[in-house]
Structure 1
């Protein structure tokens, strides 16, 4: 792993599979709330999965890839770990991100030498115009700019990476700092959420817990597989909430505004 291209290839074998086979990552953890002058609280459990397929991006040149993925995740009761339908009498909107695609080019991926393991670390600060402007969603938007921080770590054995297999076993951790979720209806109240999860690359989708597979089969069975081809834009919890709750159109004297 001496050049950016070699480093990306090693990361690709950890995160996905070079032969284009589907790869499922599964994770579990918790979601904590924070707000000024309030104690931290574990408000939800959290469980999710990502099913991906890595393909070469021929138009972008050598050593370029497209990661085609769908991602589903579910908010859980923090004690029973059952999938929630409501929270404080509000309907829960789970994560159904289709697609959640990425374009990869060689770049100096941060790595940490852990002896027999290598850790690939990705720190992704986000700041862009919110799909839920406050003027249109005063109860469901924390602000006109969506700000969050996503922190990923992927762990693989050095011996596996030294081999030639297109995919290597891996574990991962993921943390996120984000605003209140739109469906929590917190408006511009100060504070937000911290997600803290860990997981692993599965041998097959059938290794996802049966309860979770059943929920996906009942609601969106397409999430058992990765997309076949590139599409955009990506879905997020914020854009999905907007689809479910389009902004209301006001009419003034027969004129739609």
Structure 2
């Protein structure tokens, strides 16, 4: 009589709290140190019966600090961040100041904070790498209602889709370091930007970018660091404490152009 071969026990699945801790080490650092992500890519327009067009280059950075959210429990975090990003000439890659004779309003989001609680983080095993995927559909009352911003608002509901992927090596995540090297991709579908003054024209924009966690803010390209230092030097640093509400391109445009 033959004896059946023993089957290996299935690997124990990580808990939501363990998954969030791995994501936190990839996206930021558990020891509260400042972490800078930098990305680059392009912005494409789409509209019915029109060809897709690359209208802008795009380059940006996010400077973050991760802290424990003591009021929410030992496995909860606050991600304190500022992010700046710049629309570029699609060919020369120079930072634009005007587009079609309109002033360009770059991204100056301060703050851009998040509260993290344990949840089943979507994870894909890619050989020696692990990919964390975050898909964020957005729909809420627009800060720029059409009756007050007829030339700058696509509608009374702001709708967009943010798609993030963060990649880290499995071997790094198996170690004890509070922060691990990582790369990322980011795609975004959104309405026309307010400063483009497209009104309710059908269509919108798709952002397609990729980037990485830097060793320090000093690794941000010199041109970009100089632009930030000249205009908003605070964006070289992460916030020290939680603030709300978050800034967006739409709320920042409203600050520059209050409704009549």
Report the TM-score range of the alignment, normalised by the length of the smaller protein: over 0.9
CA distance in 2, matches of 1:175, 1:150: 6
What whole-Å deviation, never above 9, does each CA across 1:171-201 have from its counterpart, x for those lacking one?
A: 0000000000000000000000000000000
Q: Offset of 1:37 from its aligned partner?
A: 0.4
Is residue 2:79 matched to residue 1:74? no
> Can you give the 5+ residue segments of structure 2 that lack an aligned partner in the other structure?
1-14
Distance in 2 separating the partners of 1:62 and 1:70: 24
* Counterpart in the other structure of 2:118: 106
Aligned length: 246
Shift in Å at residue 211 of structure 1? Answer: 0.1
Q: Deviations over 1:208-228 (max 9, x none)?
A: 000000000000000000000
Q: Secondary structure of the equivalent of 2:212?
A: strand
Question: Which runs of structure 1 show a deviation greater than 3 angstroms over 4 or more consecutive aligned residues?
Answer: none
Paired residue secondary structure (1:123): strand
Q: Once the 2 structures are TM-superposed, how far is the Cα of residue 62 of structure 1 from its aligned partner?
A: 1.5
1:1-257 equivalences in 2 (<5 Å): 3-247=15-259
In 2: Cα distance, 1:245 partner to 1:218 partner: 22
For residues 146-181 of structure 1, the C-alpha deviation after alignment (integer angstroms, 9 at most, x for no partner) is 000000000000000000000000000000000000
1:123-149 CA distances to partner (integer Å, 9 max, x unpaired)?
000000000000000000000000000
Structure 1 residue ranges without an equivalent (≥5): 248-256
**3-state DSSP class of the match of 1:38?**
coil
Q: CA deviation at 1:101?
A: 0.1
Instruction: State the distance in 2 between where 1:54 and 1:119 align.
Output: 20
Computed over aligned residues only, the root mean square deviation of the Cα atoms, in angstroms, reads 0.6
- The 3-state SS of whatever aligns with 1:51 is strand
Q: TM-score, normalised by structure 2?
A: 0.94
Larger Rg: 2
Measured in 2, the distance between the counterparts of 1:175 and 1:63 equals 28
Q: Secondary structure at the match of 2:137?
A: strand
C-alpha distance in 2 between matches for 1:5 and 1:203: 26
Give distance in 1, aligned partners of 2:135 and 2:113: 17
1:45-103 superposed Cα distances (whole Å, 9 cap, x missing partner)? 00000000000000111200000000000000000000000000000000000000000
